[in-house]
Structures are given as C-alpha cells and as structure tokens.
Amino acid sequence: MLIEFEDHKLIEGGVCAPMGFRAGGVAAGIKAGSTKRDLALIVCEKKCAAAAVYTKNKVKGAPIAITKKHLEDGLAQAVIVNSGNANTCNPDGEEIAEKMCELAAKELDIDENDVLVGSTGVIGQKLSIQPIEAKIGELAASLSEDGSSLACEAIMTTDTRKKEIAVRFMIDGKLCRIGAISKGSGMINPNMATMLCFITTDVNIRQELLQKALSRVTEITYNMVSVDGDTSTNDTVCIMASGLAGNREINAEDKDYEKFINALYAVMMNLARETARDGEGATKLLECVVKGAPDEDIARRVAKSVVSSDLVKAAMFAADANCGRIFCAIGYTEGDFEIDNMEVALMSERGSMTVYQNGAIAEVDDDKAHELLTADEVTVLVDLHDGLYKAAAWGCDLTYDYVKINAEYRS
C-alpha cells in the first residue's frame, strides 16, 4: 500500500504524469523462450536536466559506464532499458550499450549522447543487439502519454508486481509532478542492488541541485532496503527534469528546494517499501524504525542491521516472536551508542507490544505475539533513548520460496 502525504497527493500516470514525457514497452525476446515485455523507452519532448546514482559494487554493468559518459554534461532526453540480460562482464558490453542508445536516438531523432541506458537480468551472459534492433521501431511506436505501465512491465525480472507511482505538489504557485517506475525483487542490499529506478519530473531545477537531491534521498530510501544481502552490478537511479511546470528555477537550497526534496522522498520512499515488500518469495514487509539515536548514522546502521538479519527474517516468516534475534542484531551493529535504556516494540495492524525494556526482555504473550506477526506488514520500533536522531529501513521475511526462486533463476 502506497503512503500518501498531505502535501504530495498520489496521482495516476507514473513516469508520464510530469509534463513532456512519454513511455512505452514491447516484447523483444531478449531472454530465450520469454514472451514478456522486456524493452522499455522513456522520452521527453525536450532536453532535461538529469542526474543519476549507481551501485557501489566494484563490478559494474556496461550500461553504467555509458550512462555516466552520456551524463557528463548533466543533460538527457531519453532512457532505453532492457530486462532479461544484465549486460555485465561481457567483452562487447559497452559497444552493445552504446548501440542501444544509437538505435533509440535514431528513432527519436535526437542526439545519442542524450540517451541513457539500463539493463537488468542474468549477469555474465552475452547480450545480442539483434532482438533490440529488430524491435526498436515497434518500441518507438509504442510511446504514449499512457505508456508508463508498459515500460514498468518491461523492466521487471522476478518482480511479482509493478512498482509505479506519481505525486503532485506546488512550488512557486505552479502545479508540479514527479513520477517513477522501478524494478527490484532479489539481490537487494542496502547499497542499492538489482534495482533500477527511473524518475521524471517537470520541476525547473538546476542540475547540480537535482544531483544533490537525488543522492541525498537515495541514502535514506533505497540504501535503506535489504532483501538478501547481495549488492548487484547494475543498480541505477536516474532522474530527468523537464522544467515544463514553469516554476522559477530552483537554484539554491531554499524552501522550494526543500519542497522538491520532500516530494522526491515521498516517491522514492514508497518505491523502496514496495521493493522490500516484493522481495523474492516474501510474504510480508518488515520495517525497522529507530529513534533516540546519538546521530543519524547510528540510527541508520541499527535499522539496517535488524532488517538485514537472516535470523530475524526467518523468525518473521514463522511469525515467531524470537526477539532475542532482534536484540542480537542491534547489539552487533557497529558504532558508539548505549543500550541501557533501550526499548523495543513490535507493531502491526493487529496490535503492538513491548518486548524489551530497561535492559531486559519484557514478558511476552507468545500467542498474542504470533497473531501480531501474521500481518502483511510488521514494524520493529527501537528507541535507544540516547539522542535525537531517527531512521527507517525496510526488508522482508526469508522464506522457502526465496531459495527455490534463486536456485532456478537461470532455468
């Protein structure tokens, strides 16, 4: 379930909600035997200020090198993306990624250096340009102002649901919008992961501030997600800003910049939660909210430690209030903080209960705890009582199906 904020109303349209954008998606047969949509395109009617952040894995997919090169001038007008193959560790990977941009640019009659590129799927297998070349005309023809969902479907791999959102808000008396699509289900760790996210906005904002905003919000959203502890090779978040909303350019970190940051957070936080909710084989969303920390870094570390623990995740799958696993995950978190006054509670739509207080485990009714933990969304609330800072992280339970999905991924 998407969370709506008072100042940022949810709207339809995904990446096509902001002014100037169209999107589409087709089936190109990139993965042998697959008939799903696997080739997506997003385009703006004009050049946009653009920014991106990437995986922290030392091994990076070829599309990242090309996207970085094409973003050196801070401008972009389109992005082409394939699923079914990550185009990583291939001898001709960058050549293929460049060719994808060239094909898209020719169909759109734009400069190929203004096209960004992304790939997702199996790592270490060659990607043929032939199915992409054969379908590029059909892909361009599929572009429409209602095409966000087609593009969203085309970037999915093991995802079980589309991840798509748009919000509207006001800046400088002008109606502004941010839209996004993303994919990600497994190989997800708090340094981004097999995760692609493409964001569009019609806000008029200076490129340097767009990059700063994206980097900041990524740190407190996508970098706070963990499904399985694996950081992938292709993770990319891109944003294009058309400026067509007509607001005065945001060129300083003022109140309008803060409004933009907050709207971007509303979009990316929701998609981060949906990524965790859709973890491979997952049956529930696990959230850890930490408050009372001595600094933001400690708050983030503790929250990520809890949602990343395989033992905590397995207990959540069983709806077992084995809370010692939570306390253990908090305790081995790196950093200087006190736990003498720590409180820990479990919460869901089915109730709440304190499980740790004043340095010791609280008395827990196992039957009530089990009922609480059978909900589709469970929150672990940690109050360190050691400062004023807070953070949240998102994960999921660890199930039998996770092993099955990943054991059979290439078959």
Residue 100 has pLDDT above 80, yes or no: yes
Greater pLDDT, 202 or 276 = 202
Superfamily of domain 285-407: ArgJ beta chain, C-terminal domain (3.10.20.340)
* Pairwise pLDDT comparison (193 vs 393), residue with the higher score: 393
Position 2 pLDDT exceeds 80: yes
Residue 405's pLDDT is 62
CATH T-level topology, domain 9-277: L-amino peptidase D-ALA esterase/amidase (3.60.70)
pLDDT at 408: 60
Which among 194, 218, 275, 379 is annotated as catalytic? 194
Kindly indicate the confidence band of residue 112, based on its pLDDT and cuts at 50, 70 and 90: very high
Mean pLDDT, residues 226-247? 82
- Residue 404 backbone dihedrals phi, psi, to 5 degrees: -60, -45
Distance of CA 273 to the CA centre of its chain: 8
DSSP state of 251: -
Q: Taking the domains of the chain in order of start, what are their residue ranges? A: 9-277, 285-407
What per-residue confidence (pLDDT) applies to 157?
Answer: 85
Q: Which residue has the higher pLDDT, 397 or 148?
A: 148
pLDDT single digits (tens) 242-301 = 999 999 999 999 999 999 999 999 999 999 999 888 766 678 999 999 999 999 999 999
pLDDT at 56 over 80: no
Stronger pLDDT, 159 or 285, i.e. the higher one: 285
Q: Secondary structure of the chain: what % helix, strand, coil (to 5)?
A: 35, 30, 40
Name the burial class of residue 252, with classes exposed (0-12), middle (13-18) and buried (19+) by CB atoms within 10 angstroms of its CB: exposed
pLDDT of residue 187: 44
330-382 pLDDT tens trace: 999 999 998 889 999 999 999 999 999 988 888 888 899 999 999 999 999 99
User: Which H/E stretch holds residue 299?
Assistant: helix 296-308
Nearest CA-CA partner of 397 in 340, 294, 322, 344? 322
Report the percent of the chain where pLDDT is more than 70. Answer: 93
The closest alpha carbon to 315, from 367, 374, 392, belongs to 374
Residue 194 annotated in active site = yes
Instruction: Tell me the range of 56-60, 194-198, 259-263 where mean pLDDT is highest.
Output: 259-263
Work out the burial of residue 212: count CB atoms within 10 Å of its CB; fewer than 13 is exposed, 13-18 middle, 19 or more buried: middle
Res. 186 pLDDT band, cuts 50 70 90: very low
0.75 cut: is pTM over it?
yes
Give the pLDDT mean for 84-92: 90
Cα torsion through 159, 92, 190, 261, rounded to 10: -90
